Chains A and B, each alone.
Chain A
Amino acid sequence: MALLNIQDMKIQFPSRRGTVEAVKGISLEVNGGEIVGVVGESGAGKSTIGNAVIGLLEAPGRMTGGVVSLHNERIDNLPFQTLQKIRGRKIGMIFQDPLTSLNPLFTVGQQLVETVRTHLDMSESDARKRAIEMLDEVGIADAENRVDQYPHQFSGGMRQRVVIALALAVNPKLVIADEPTTALDVSIQAQILDLIRKLCKERNVGVIIITHDMGVIAEITDRVAVMYRGKIVELGQTEQVLGRPEHPYTKSLMAAVPRSDVKLDRFPRVSYSDGEVKQHQHIDIHSHWLGKSRDYVQKDGPLVRCENISMRFTSRYSIIPSWRKYFLAVDDVSFDIKHGEIFGVVGESGSGKSTVARMISGLYTPSKGKIYFDNTSVSDLKTDKELDPFRRQIQMIFQDPYSSLNPRMRVFDVIAEPIRHHRLAESKEQVTQIVEDLLEHVELGRQAAWKYPHEFSGGQRQRISIARALATRPRFLICDEPTSALDVSIQAQILNLLKDLQQELGLTMLFISHDLPVIRQMCDRVAVMQNGKIVEVAETEKLFTDPQHPYTQRLLTLMPTLNFQAAV
């Protein structure tokens, strides 16, 4: 007898523009002590399932069919109050963002005690004891003292441990974890996953893990359900589904996951999609406007040289200088980027990698040190007249495709702006021609020019960003986590596009990512950053096969590996 049994669940979201069927009849079983993964890309309906089981479907969404039962007892048609008791007592939930799932105004202990006392008949002091036990169990050292601290006194990973303690405090039978590690760094992710696994086995709890990350699935789950557009396309033992996928969608998904073991020339083209593949006009890059940017005089030495650059931010301002407080984001960093290479920077959040990118791009002026571009010290230039030629040569692609395009501008104007600003075209007609060619070249099609950004998906927006960056005919392209907000199949397409462009146009790139497999696929050389310092710079192959610095070694061992991938 299964712990949780979902039979033919259907969920609809009626809206004014027609009803959206988010979940189209799925069936799933979870046993005690078993971890079941639900994996899929954004919009596949995976979070909706979790929310429906626990009764947190957002209005106007509703279950239109199917049965959910816990211990053979139907729970999907219960009145609100009964359901509330069951979900507090028997089902625990772990949310994605540990920053917002704890109430900042109460101590961790108060929140645990409240939860325990609501559902278990316990005295205040017993509940407190239980809270301390729970914190101890999820690996928070010195639980006795930390129980009286507020959430802001805990780090992100520690907070997620507290959330797990909250979810498990009343001994639930089932835990639903919705992207439990997505907001966390890779080193903390590994610890949290270990913890979930350990608690699941010890307490014989059934766990549903909802994630988009194949690495997480491979690492922790026993069985996995692969979702595509509201349906489960494949369900089975994790090893089997990931190692020998049968459904074409699973196969294409697995192919798109960047491999950490071998460097491939390109990502395999993801073949499974419902939409027709449009043929895009190919432009001959060398005779085209885009290719005619080679008017630069190639100088000796590296294209970009950073000499002992540091960046400090004022974290507390005061009129009296000695009272000011600073935060050193980048601390005395030096490196070179050679002509035509893709230089990677990898590190965890807060390591200063984005700050480095922004200093090179000119958005920030380094507090100390110098940045040379083509042997010119750009950090000393002040006036627009001096800076403009360099701005034209250095362009950047940002992380968040939703905020990197002005929502009030047509795509045409977004891409035309740099061309007009730098007067790169001779006539209005030529601007139109260039914009349309650029859109064709990033495989969006020229019609895209007349729409607004909100009409595009994340991946398409990232293509628009790339087109905008190319519109100045840059030599040097900075990519700051260009794919971390995208689904894995879209990521593969964008990375392929970037690689192609880099080769066609002979671009030099600075590629920033927290994702080691992506770095391995993209970069020629890599710098590893930790706490504002570069700990190691090496050729990619050498870094991955023979890391020198202990931090690099640790990062590499934490990297989730898909051992089954070799079979694909």
Chain B
Amino acid sequence: MANSELTAKTATPLARMADAFRRGLDSDVFHSFKHSPVTIVATVVTLVMIGASVFANLVAPHNPFDMATIDMLDSELPPVWEEMGMSKYLLGTDNLGRDVFSTILYGSRVSLFVGFTSVVLSMVIGIALGLIAGYKGGLIDAFIMRVAEIQLSFPTILVALLINGVMRGVLPPSQHADLAILVLVLSIGLSNWVQFARTVRASTLVERNKEYVLAARLIGVKPFFIMVRHVLPNVMGPILVIATLGLASAVLTEATLSFLGVGVPPTEPSLGTLINVGSDYLFSGSWWITIFPGAALAVLVLAVNLVGDWLRDALNPKLR
């Protein structure tokens, strides 16, 4: 105890971080992590899938976008363990002769990128509006929350489709392919902020009447700084949970939109696009083109959801 006091006081930022890390390992949250095998597996799976997709160009056996390496004669080959399978193509090839395993890695990179950025977008919008609504109250609060509720009364996918359609209508067709990912991020991000806003507002309503906020007001701290410096750090717990669960649902929404053909173009496929393309060949016997991307999507979403569920329980003092 006395030792950590001294190090904390005289410490360099690095030593202080190490101290924080050591305290993190000793915390209740980490303790609950260690005792939940399901969560450990889910975290490992999530990290492996994220890692593999981020470093797809290093991990993948083939580059599915390099036309020179693709041979049309190799198209629709089944996975290795099937009769016609080739050891070169672990999970078989698709209709263009691309290695399915490699396309999955490159595809989840697109899916995860869209997922992450759209969650960050919803988070930024949701936190900002939630903080303002909760802290200011009154008419501003009523206005923001009514807008949120109206949006919430439509299914998320419908809102995303609507935003997507509007933006595609506004943009010139020649730019659709280039801006497809941006449009996707915006439409998913804008359709998911409500959850964040509602959660942040609820926590803010509790926090703003606590005496430390009153003390800050007495000092004369501006509302903006009270919201950011005092309230925000204290409402972050539930946001983390929603963000994790939101990542899973954003990846799913992206896949759905791409499956419906309004997501990323087939030249730069995401998991949803792959499933969409492959589904045409499902009944001609080439099941692997659609099943493997589908399985990858299912495993990723499940793993992220399990991590999110654990986080929710671990951060909830009532369940501890």
> CA–CA, A154 to B5, complex, Å?
51
- Asked if A408 and B234 sit within 8 Å, CB to CB, the answer is yes
In the complex, what residues of A have CB within 8 A of residue B230's CB? Answer: 406, 409
A394 interfacial by beta-carbon distance below 8 Å: yes
- Asked if B210 and A421 sit within 8 Å, CB to CB, the answer is no
- Asked if A449 and B9 sit within 8 Å, CB to CB, the answer is yes
- Asked if B234 and A407 sit within 8 Å, CB to CB, the answer is yes
- Asked if A451 and B234 sit within 8 Å, CB to CB, the answer is no
Interface residues in A402-431 (C-beta closer than 8 Å to B): 403-409, 417-418, 421-422
Q: How far is the CB of A68 from chain B (nearest CB, A)?
A: 30
> CA–CA, A400 to B234, complex, Å?
17
A284 interfacial by beta-carbon distance below 8 Å: no
- Asked if B221 and A396 sit within 8 Å, CB to CB, the answer is no
- Asked if A395 and B212 sit within 8 Å, CB to CB, the answer is no
In the complex, what residues of A have CB within 8 A of residue B15's CB? Answer: none
- Asked if A406 and B9 sit within 8 Å, CB to CB, the answer is no
Interface string of B203-237 (1 = CB under 8 A from A): 00000001110111111111000000010011000
Q: How far is the CB of A321 from chain B (nearest CB, A)?
A: 15
In the complex, what residues of B have CB within 8 A of residue A451's CB? Answer: 5, 8
In the complex, what residues of A have CB within 8 A of residue B219's CB? Answer: 391, 417-418, 421-422, 472
- Asked if A422 and B220 sit within 8 Å, CB to CB, the answer is yes
- Asked if A447 and B234 sit within 8 Å, CB to CB, the answer is no
Asked, given contacts A406-B230, A407-B234, A408-B234, whether A417 binds B216 with beta carbons under 8 Å apart, the answer is yes
- Asked if A363 and B217 sit within 8 Å, CB to CB, the answer is yes
- Asked if B220 and A450 sit within 8 Å, CB to CB, the answer is no
> CA–CA, A447 to B5, complex, Å?
6
A361 interfacial by beta-carbon distance below 8 Å: yes
What residue of chain B has the Cβ atom nearest to residue A450's Cβ?
B8
- Asked if A404 and B8 sit within 8 Å, CB to CB, the answer is no
In the complex, what residues of A have CB within 8 A of residue B214's CB? Answer: 358, 363, 396, 398, 404
Cβ-defined partner of A16 (8 Å) among B6, B31, B217: B31
- Asked if B215 and A404 sit within 8 Å, CB to CB, the answer is yes
Cβ-defined partner of B221 (8 Å) among A16, A361, A398, A417: A417
Asked, given contacts A16-B31, A447-B5, A451-B5, whether A406 binds B220 with beta carbons under 8 Å apart, the answer is no
Q: How far is the CB of B240 from chain A (nearest CB, A)?
A: 14
- Asked if A406 and B212 sit within 8 Å, CB to CB, the answer is yes
In the complex, what residues of B have CB within 8 A of residue A285's CB? Answer: none
Q: How far is the CB of A155 from chain B (nearest CB, A)?
A: 24
- Asked if B215 and A396 sit within 8 Å, CB to CB, the answer is yes
In the complex, what residues of B have CB within 8 A of residue A409's CB? Answer: 230, 233
Taking chain B's interface residues, is the majority helix, strand, or loop, or is none over half, making it mixed? helix
> CA–CA, A406 to B211, complex, Å?
9
- Asked if A468 and B234 sit within 8 Å, CB to CB, the answer is no
- Of listed A362, A399, A421, residue having the most chain B CB within 10 A: A421
In the complex, what residues of A have CB within 8 A of residue B6's CB? Answer: 447
- Asked if A403 and B218 sit within 8 Å, CB to CB, the answer is no
Cβ-defined partner of A399 (8 Å) among B8, B9, B211, B216: B211
A78 interfacial by beta-carbon distance below 8 Å: no
A384 interfacial by beta-carbon distance below 8 Å: yes
> CA–CA, A399 to B209, complex, Å?
13
- Asked if A421 and B220 sit within 8 Å, CB to CB, the answer is yes
> CA–CA, A388 to B220, complex, Å?
6
What residue of chain B has the Cβ atom nearest to residue A445's Cβ?
B5
In the complex, what residues of A have CB within 8 A of residue B5's CB? Answer: 447, 450-451
> CA–CA, A394 to B216, complex, Å?
13
> CA–CA, A394 to B210, complex, Å?
19
> CA–CA, A374 to B9, complex, Å?
41
In the complex, what residues of A have CB within 8 A of residue B212's CB? Answer: 403-406
- Asked if B210 and A403 sit within 8 Å, CB to CB, the answer is yes
In the complex, what residues of A have CB within 8 A of residue B233's CB? Answer: 406, 408-409
In the complex, what residues of A have CB within 8 A of residue B220's CB? Answer: 384, 387-388, 391-392, 421-422
In the complex, what residues of A have CB within 8 A of residue B221's CB? Answer: 417, 421
What residue of chain B has the Cβ atom nearest to residue A410's Cβ?
B8
> CA–CA, A363 to B215, complex, Å?
9
> CA–CA, A338 to B135, complex, Å?
36
Cβ-defined partner of B218 (8 Å) among A16, A363, A405: A363
In the complex, what residues of A have CB within 8 A of residue B222's CB? Answer: 384
> CA–CA, A17 to B51, complex, Å?
36
Interface string of B183-212 (1 = CB under 8 A from A): 000000000000000000000000000111
- Asked if A406 and B234 sit within 8 Å, CB to CB, the answer is yes
Q: How far is the CB of B215 from chain A (nearest CB, A)?
A: 6
What residue of chain B has the Cβ atom nearest to residue A448's Cβ?
B5
> CA–CA, A358 to B216, complex, Å?
14
Asked, given contacts A391-B220, A406-B230, whether A398 binds B9 with beta carbons under 8 Å apart, the answer is no
Q: How far is the CB of A387 from chain B (nearest CB, A)?
A: 7
- Asked if A394 and B218 sit within 8 Å, CB to CB, the answer is yes
Interface string of A131-160 (1 = CB under 8 A from B): 000000000000000000000000000000
Q: How far is the CB of B194 from chain A (nearest CB, A)?
A: 24
> CA–CA, A418 to B5, complex, Å?
24
What residue of chain A has the Cβ atom nearest to residue B7's Cβ?
A450
What residue of chain B has the Cβ atom nearest to residue A471's Cβ?
B219
What residue of chain B has the Cβ atom nearest to residue A391's Cβ?
B220
Cβ-defined partner of A362 (8 Å) among B8, B215, B218: B218
Q: How far is the CB of B301 from chain A (nearest CB, A)?
A: 32
Return the 3 tightest CB-CB contacts between A and B, nearest first.
Answer: A404-B211, A408-B233, A398-B211
A-B contact pairs, 26 of them (CB 8 A): A358-B214, A361-B218, A362-B218, A363-B218, A384-B222, A392-B220, A395-B218, A396-B214, A396-B218, A398-B211, A398-B215, A404-B211, A404-B212, A404-B214, A404-B215, A406-B230, A407-B234, A409-B230, A417-B216, A417-B221, A418-B219, A421-B219, A447-B5, A447-B6, A450-B8, A468-B215
